[in-house]
Chains A and B, each alone.
Chain A
Amino acid sequence: MGLTGIEIYKLLPKTNCGECGVPTCLAFAMGLAAAKAELVQCPHLSDEVRIQLAEASAPPILPVVIGTGESALKIGGETVMFRHEKRFENPTGIALLITDEMSDAEVDYRLLKINELVYERVGLTLRAELVALKSETGDAAKFTALVNKVKAGTEANIILMSENMEALGAGAKACAERKPLLYAATKNNLDAATALAKETGCPLGVKAESIEALTALTEKLAGAGIKNLVVDSGARNVKQALQDQLIIRSAALNKKYRPLGYPTIVFPCEMAKDPMQEAVIAAVFVAKYAGVIVLSDFSGESLFPLLVARLNIYTDPQRPMTTKQGIYEINEPDENSPLMVTSNFSLTYSIVSGEIESSKAPCYLFVKDTEGLSVVTSWAAGKFNSETIGSAILKSGITDKIKHRKLIIPGYIADERDAIAEEMPGWEIIVGPKDAADLTPFLKNWKP
């Protein structure tokens, strides 16, 4: 909440009736300020005070949802400038541009890309989640036809792009139930755009020629009760676009400046001369604060690195992603299959298990809890060594599953071999390759 406990207290009834669950109004005010209590808990607030407090307690960057259901994209809701302070909440949405001037074949090809360029990594599904449909011709019928084709061809969330209100309105009617982002309201069409957003209940993009001009528009829209906004400062060169992202985020968070407290949309598709350059520019805005980026095109070689970059920037800095400790059976192992050990950092687990899978060799992989640290890091930190590995494996129940007594350890912890052997009497400790990518030839030579 933007207000302090004392400021809130001044607005409360000061009767200390206790109905909110705490004994005094002051305690309740402190709770509100710390976001530990909710406004509805006090039944004695006047409407005026309720609205005032609700406004003050709204998140500094409003969350906006594009689309519906499970695959809807949530953007905004960010609370920090730097990811080490607290995780970034809602990853930048990535949109692929489709225009009404493209041939049917081109549109089909783009829909195929949106639907099929999907990647699994550390147990998560990564993909671009939006199509941006642009009316270049301004022809409402043509735009409607495109929208209908796309709607039938993909579940991806939709952005409708046109400053021509007739085309935008027609597009919106064709897919209102999918809750598309309507882009964009400008100073020239503000009234019509306001009406369309009200009528359809869809989120609205707002475009201006500068940040200052943008604030005038968002203030008007907010005044008309429309706050489901995604903002565009209009910058189309990389330098200005980055500065604008920095300024908008800072104004919203550091100055609690409401007129800029919305997620942003950025257009690398209008900033680059080729797809490689565009992909690199997109990476800038994944790191620096875009809510959505619109790309003129992508393919596996550009989308994959961008999605993984986004995953990295948006991971929780306090808690690395982990896999549960335990025995993992890969490729249907039996009592003669090899046993390997690795750490429980999700990335390590997914790399190692992926390599084992593709080697086709049946294996047991024991994942040791290393508090989410990689093999080398946890070894350096003393969390992945003879004592911890030996006893965990002996207690795991693996000895009921295998007849041999051999354990393969990662090549990077070769120095631990003798110490592990000491902790595990009767076992042979084998040093595996350093890099999991070399597991296939190594496993070919395995004998129980």
Chain B
Amino acid sequence: MAYEIPKITYSGKIREVTAGTGDKAITVGGETAYPFHLYEGQMPNLPRLAMEVYDTPPEDWPEAALEPFKDVVNDAAAWAQKCVNEYSAEMICLQLTSTDPNGADRPVNEAAALVKKVSDAIDVPLIIWGTANHEKDIEVFKAAAEICQGKNLIIGPVEEGDHKQIAGAVGGKHILAAQTPIDINLAKQLNILLGNAGVPDDKLIIDPTVSGIGYGIEYAYSVMERMRIAALTQQDAKLQFPIICNIARETWKTKEARISEEENPTMGNAGKRGILLEAMSATLLLMAGADILIMRHPEAQKLVKELIKDLAA
């Protein structure tokens, strides 16, 4: 039997979505094959990494994650600039933790002003991430979208419970990240609902909800693979969107990212372990179809960036 490279015939294509504006705008999506199946199709826009910035100094981060940002944790704009200037961040994700009504409950106008400040401090695309408290997220997103008109932000999470209000206020002007709990049917359903609520196809990305290595990453992995199969080989138009994965905080919050080497010598250096948990989790998600990964540690970001370059070289 003669050898012949087996090729899958793809009938679909992932939509292209552009975030940000001007020279530094970033387009993701456009794939015509499974992740890195470059002998079968194209990935015209390689996956991109966003670096996280918090609106309030993190309290519970392991030392290794905090270290690089010690001088900027009190100033989200300076933090964002540091990520862009020192670590060549391609995008920034501002985590609006302090808006949580069950936490600091930062008022809406303050939060929006901070979004504006961060957005003005950088020229790369900005992602803003709420706390999944629907009432508060709706208000914060509305205000932030208004004050950042024309910036073409990515805004998430948008869930079934708040999609109508968010789509109504923000849809079309910025990009929405539609989040559902690790379920392909729920993801599709929410994308349909957002379409019905007037969100155009080029302003939508999927957040499948992810967790890190050791905490159920295999569920997200398989759901993402199934999304790509449906999108690329079964013409499922409502799943043909880029995928965003908020992976950093899922890895750094785990016990395994904290245990010290003294406490458990077989686990090795805690800082490097944290970095590798983040980078390897991101790697698995890349293999499953991630288009945007939200990263934390500069080293992890660098490792994954290099990997993407090598995989597509």
**Cβ–Cβ contact A239 & B311, under 8 A:** yes
**Cβ–Cβ contact B222 & A82, under 8 A:** yes
Interface residues of B in 246-278 (CB under 8 A from A): 255-256, 261, 265-270, 272-273, 275-277
Across the interface, which residues of A come within 8 angstroms of B22, CB to CB?
Answer: none
**Cβ–Cβ contact A309 & B279, under 8 A:** no
Across the interface, which residues of A come within 8 angstroms of B214, CB to CB?
Answer: 121, 308, 312, 347
| Cα distance, A12 to B285, chains bound together (Å) | 48
Contact with B along A268-285 (1 / 0, CB 8 A): 000000001101110110
**Cβ–Cβ contact A305 & B310, under 8 A:** no
Distance of B181 from chain A, by nearest CB (Å) = 8
**Cβ–Cβ contact A351 & B280, under 8 A:** no
| Cα distance, A280 to B279, chains bound together (Å) | 7
Distance of B234 from chain A, by nearest CB (Å) = 14
**Cβ–Cβ contact B266 & A116, under 8 A:** yes
The answer to whether A84 has its CB under 8 Å from any CB of chain B is yes
By beta carbon, the residue of chain A nearest B258 is: A437
**When A and B form their complex, what is the total count of cross-chain residue pairs whose Cβ atoms lie within 8 Å?**
154
**Cβ–Cβ contact A287 & B284, under 8 A:** yes
The answer to whether B113 has its CB under 8 Å from any CB of chain A is no
By beta carbon, the residue of chain A nearest B2 is: A215
Q: Which of A61-69, A244-252, A393-401 lines the interface with chain B?
A: A244-252
Across the interface, which residues of B come within 8 angstroms of A237, CB to CB?
Answer: 310, 313
Across the interface, which residues of B come within 8 angstroms of A119, CB to CB?
Answer: 266
| Cα distance, A117 to B267, chains bound together (Å) | 8
The answer to whether A212 has its CB under 8 Å from any CB of chain B is yes
Across the interface, which residues of A come within 8 angstroms of B225, CB to CB?
Answer: 82-84
The answer to whether B221 has its CB under 8 Å from any CB of chain A is yes
**Cβ–Cβ contact B256 & A84, under 8 A:** no
**Cβ–Cβ contact B266 & A284, under 8 A:** no
The answer to whether B306 has its CB under 8 Å from any CB of chain A is yes
| Cα distance, A284 to B37, chains bound together (Å) | 13
Contact of B37 among A212, A246, A305, A437 (CB under 8 A): A246
The answer to whether B27 has its CB under 8 Å from any CB of chain A is no
Distance of A301 from chain B, by nearest CB (Å) = 3
| Cα distance, A380 to B181, chains bound together (Å) | 11
| Cα distance, A305 to B217, chains bound together (Å) | 12
| Cα distance, A238 to B311, chains bound together (Å) | 6
Given contacts A118-B266, A238-B311, A300-B265, contact A312 B217 (CB under 8 A): yes
Given contacts A238-B310, A300-B273, contact A283 B39 (CB under 8 A): no
**Cβ–Cβ contact A239 & B312, under 8 A:** yes
**Cβ–Cβ contact B307 & A281, under 8 A:** yes
Contact with A along B211-246 (1 / 0, CB 8 A): 001111110011001100100000000000000000
**Cβ–Cβ contact A304 & B284, under 8 A:** no
The answer to whether A258 has its CB under 8 Å from any CB of chain B is yes
Distance of A400 from chain B, by nearest CB (Å) = 34
| Cα distance, A183 to B280, chains bound together (Å) | 28
- Chain B CB within 10 A, most for which of A117, A254, A305: A305
The answer to whether A299 has its CB under 8 Å from any CB of chain B is yes
The answer to whether B88 has its CB under 8 Å from any CB of chain A is no
**Cβ–Cβ contact B287 & A239, under 8 A:** no
**Cβ–Cβ contact A239 & B266, under 8 A:** no
Across the interface, which residues of B come within 8 angstroms of A42, CB to CB?
Answer: none
**Cβ–Cβ contact B311 & A351, under 8 A:** no
Given contacts A82-B225, A212-B3, A279-B276, contact A243 B39 (CB under 8 A): yes
Given contacts A238-B310, A288-B287, A305-B276, contact A211 B266 (CB under 8 A): no
The answer to whether A171 has its CB under 8 Å from any CB of chain B is no
Interface residues of B in 1-52 (CB under 8 A from A): 1, 3-6, 8, 36-39
| Cα distance, A384 to B217, chains bound together (Å) | 22
The answer to whether B65 has its CB under 8 Å from any CB of chain A is no
The answer to whether A313 has its CB under 8 Å from any CB of chain B is yes
Given contacts A276-B303, A277-B306, A304-B256, contact A117 B226 (CB under 8 A): no
The answer to whether A242 has its CB under 8 Å from any CB of chain B is yes
Interface residues of A in 328-374 (CB under 8 A from B): 347, 351, 374
Distance of A68 from chain B, by nearest CB (Å) = 26
| Cα distance, A257 to B1, chains bound together (Å) | 8
Given contacts A300-B273, A313-B284, contact A280 B307 (CB under 8 A): yes
The answer to whether B299 has its CB under 8 Å from any CB of chain A is yes
Across the interface, which residues of A come within 8 angstroms of B304, CB to CB?
Answer: 280
**Cβ–Cβ contact B6 & A255, under 8 A:** yes
**Cβ–Cβ contact B213 & A308, under 8 A:** yes
The answer to whether B133 has its CB under 8 Å from any CB of chain A is no
| Cα distance, A38 to B247, chains bound together (Å) | 47
Contact of A300 among B215, B266, B281, B311 (CB under 8 A): B266
Given contacts A279-B276, A300-B266, A317-B218, contact A287 B287 (CB under 8 A): yes
Across the interface, which residues of A come within 8 angstroms of B283, CB to CB?
Answer: 280, 283-284, 287
**Cβ–Cβ contact B273 & A305, under 8 A:** yes
**Cβ–Cβ contact B273 & A301, under 8 A:** yes
- Chain B CB within 10 A, most for which of A258, A312, A351: A312
The answer to whether A302 has its CB under 8 Å from any CB of chain B is yes
| Cα distance, A84 to B227, chains bound together (Å) | 12
Across the interface, which residues of A come within 8 angstroms of B266, CB to CB?
Answer: 116-119, 300, 304
A-B contact pairs, 13 of them (CB 8 A): A82-B229, A83-B222, A238-B310, A239-B36, A254-B6, A276-B299, A281-B310, A283-B284, A301-B268, A301-B273, A304-B273, A305-B276, A308-B213
Please provide the 3 A-B residue pairs with the shortest distance between their CB atoms, ordered closest to farther.
A300-B268, A301-B268, A301-B273
Residues of B within 8 A of A (CB): 1, 3-6, 8, 36-39, 181, 213-218, 221-222, 225-226, 229, 255-256, 261, 265-270, 272-273, 275-277, 279-281, 283-284, 287-288, 299, 303-304, 306-307, 310-313
Please give 13 more A-B residue pairs, beta carbons under 8 A apart, in addition to A251-B3, A287-B284.
A83-B218, A84-B226, A239-B36, A276-B279, A277-B307, A283-B280, A283-B284, A302-B276, A309-B217, A309-B281, A312-B213, A313-B218, A317-B222
Residues of A within 8 A of B (CB): 82-84, 116-119, 121, 211-212, 215, 237-239, 242-243, 246-247, 250-251, 254-255, 257-260, 276-277, 279-281, 283-284, 287-288, 299-306, 308-309, 312-313, 315, 317, 347, 351, 374, 380, 437
